[in-house]
Amino acid sequence: MKNKNYYAILMAGGVGSRFWPVSTQNFPKQFHDMLGTGDTLIQKTFNRLAKLIPEDNIFILTNARYNDLVFQQLPNITKRQVVLEPAMRNTAPCILYAAMKIQKENEDAVMIVAPSDHWIEDEQSFSENVKTAFDFCESHDALMTLGITPTFPNTGYGYIEFNREQLLSLAEVKPVNQFREKPDYETAKSFLEQGNFLWNAGIFMWSVKSVISAFESKQPELFQLFQKGYDVYNTELEADFIKENYGKAENISIDYAIMEKSTNVFVVPATFDWNDLGTWGSLYDKLDKDENNNAIVNSKVLATDTSGNMIRSKKDKIIVIDGLKDYIIVDKDEVLLIFPKRKEQDIKKVLQNVKANFGEEYG
């Protein structure tokens, strides 16, 4: 029997433009089967959360334009579970809004905020880590996060510095000293050498009481804006209130809004492998490779003198390649991308160029 006080907010509003041309504004990456497993990323995340959390208590937080996609891919959820942002306002406003809705339904709720596009293989370990965090949050005024033990000096993630001197009742839980911005390579190397730094995975856990109280003290204007609608949350009048007021919210991330300003922040070092699937290269790292280190999704490939490539097309398309090394090759309907893997961070710029030259409909 799953705990009725356990809730989840599954964050599914992003565009994922570094996965262009597969991920577009109208059909972003979380609604695609990026790994070729038969499940889309949002389906995989929902099923992972449902191992610990009652399915009815998993809320999908997304942009209003993705409402239909959510119901197509998660046909068993109800309208109550889909929380729509009428405007893009980063993570803090939508998390506060969802937390207030949950608090009104169950003031004893503890919740996890989880992105919809992460790759986690050991789902049992994930559930155990979240349960550890929930146990701590039920008995402490705590803002919790899951940190990933770094495997190399990655400059693409923010880091969490924890205090290894202070021991808590639960050994797996560490007090956080501070959050650190994405470092340069030398700084990242020093973080790894020090041994008390974790990658910030953007996965958070807390009781609704703790997170709403943190907003009240750290972001009073944002708190007041959403508090005004408390009486209408979970009623038919909610949509009108949100439509009228959501756009007034500051565009601010949960990290800046409360995590970096609070002193009651803790971290559980994750015991599972994790990848944020932010780029074609990170997807390449997680996929099985052929004998020439090519990662292939959906395609039938005939390759000569070709290695280290990320290759994706629609199902069973035949792709013949000769003499390409370390490229991203993505064939999608009206767009073909052939791009060096080492320049994958530039795909966002390429997308802007394509839209400027050929029209917004290609992004």
pLDDT tens across 199-218, in order? Answer: 999 999 999 999 999 999 99
Give me the pLDDT at residue 49, please.
Answer: 97
Shared domain for 312 and 183, answered yes or no, is: no
- Distance, first Cα to last Cα, the chain: 44
Give me the pLDDT at residue 302, please.
Answer: 94
**Short-list 130, 108, 145, 146, CA closest to 274:** 146
Shared domain for 250 and 332, answered yes or no, is: no
168 — pLDDT class (breaks 50, 70, 90):
low
Shared domain for 329 and 218, answered yes or no, is: no
Instruction: Name the residue type at position 363.
Output: G
**Short-list 32, 13, 30, CA closest to 330:** 32
Shared domain for 96 and 27, answered yes or no, is: yes
For 314, the domain range is: 280-362
CATH number at residue 182: 3.90.550.10
Residue 10 forms part of a structural domain? yes
Mean pLDDT in residue range 110-119: 94
Shared domain for 242 and 305, answered yes or no, is: no
Predicted confidence (pLDDT) at residue 325 exceeds the cutoff of 90: yes
Shared domain for 292 and 271, answered yes or no, is: no
For residue 295 the two structure tokens come to 């990662």
Shared domain for 12 and 42, answered yes or no, is: yes
Residue 1 forms part of a structural domain? no
Sign, Cα dihedral of 98, 250, 46, 108? negative
**Short-list 285, 265, 267, 266, CA closest to 276:** 285
Shared domain for 237 and 103, answered yes or no, is: yes
Integer Cα distance of 106 and 310 in angstroms: 46
Beta-carbon contacts of residue 209 (< 8 Å; ≥ 6 apart): 103, 107, 141
**Total tally of structural domains belonging to the chain:** 2
**Are the C-beta atoms of residues 280 and 345 closer than 8 Å to each other?**
no
**Are the C-beta atoms of residues 145 and 130 closer than 8 Å to each other?**
no
Predicted confidence (pLDDT) at residue 88 exceeds the cutoff of 70: yes
Q: What length does the chain have? A: 363
Integer Cα distance of 328 and 336 in angstroms: 10
Give me the pLDDT at residue 96, please.
Answer: 96
For residue 335 the two structure tokens come to 């767009």
Shared domain for 60 and 99, answered yes or no, is: yes
Task: Work out the mean pLDDT of the chain and round it to a whole number.
Answer: 92
Give me the pLDDT at residue 167, please.
Answer: 66
Report percent pLDDT > 70 for the chain. Answer: 99
333 — pLDDT class (breaks 50, 70, 90):
confident
Predicted confidence (pLDDT) at residue 129 exceeds the cutoff of 70: yes
**Are the C-beta atoms of residues 53 and 6 closer than 8 Å to each other?**
yes
**Short-list 192, 173, 177, 200, CA closest to 276:** 200
Predicted confidence (pLDDT) at residue 169 exceeds the cutoff of 80: no
Integer Cα distance of 345 and 281 in angstroms: 9
Mean pLDDT in residue range 319-326: 96
Give me the pLDDT at residue 121, please.
Answer: 86
Integer Cα distance of 51 and 1 in angstroms: 11
